[in-house]
Structures are given as structure tokens and as C-alpha cells.
Amino acid sequence: VSNQVRCLVTGEETLRFVNLCRNNGIELRHLVRRENAIQMEIDAENFKKLRPLVRKTHVKIHILNRHGPAFTDISGDGGFCWG
């Protein structure tokens, strides 16, 4: 089970961004192309590798959803700390 991040990539050079990801060995899954945006899923460990490509292509990344063991709330109280 891996940690996944679903995100939306917006900007003028979204296709160039996807090509650079593939050339750098970053696996993108569930790609859905919209007008000037692309929705995708990526492993959380690869998410940090996107930063240089984002700078190069001047796109914006918006996180839509995160799921996996690293993102689950194990406190059981919604994340609140009681003192």
C-alpha cells in the first residue's frame, strides 16, 4: 500500500510538464485532461521531485486529495490534542 496524492496541474505548459515527468522517471497515474489543466495521481515520495519541473514549466499544483497510511488520522478524535 502506497501513499497517493491526487492533484490538479494548471498553467500554459501542462503538456510539457507531463513530458518532463515521464522523461525523469516520475510515474503519473489516472491522467485526465481538462481545458488548461490536468488531474493526476502520483506517489507521495515522488511529489517532492516535481518542484524543479514546476519551476521550469511555470505551472501550479493544487492538491485535491491525499490517501494512504501516512495521511490517516490515528488519534481518533479528528486531530485535536487535549491538554
pLDDT in tens, 9-63: 999 999 999 999 999 999 999 999 988 899 999 999 999 999 999 999 999 999 9
Please give the model's pTM, rounded to 2 decimal places.
0.79
Supply φ then ψ for residue 31, to 5 degrees.
-75, 130
Mean pLDDT of 1-6: 84
The pLDDT of residue 75 is 60
Nearest Cα neighbor of 63 from 4, 13, 19 is: 4
Report the amino acid identity of residue 75. S
Note whether 70 and 12 are within 8 A (CB): no
Between 50 and 83, the more confident residue is 50
Angle at the Cα of 30 (from 71 to 47), degrees rounded to 5?
A: 45
pLDDT for 83 beyond 70: no
Please, which pLDDT band fits residue 77 given cuts at 50, 70 and 90? low
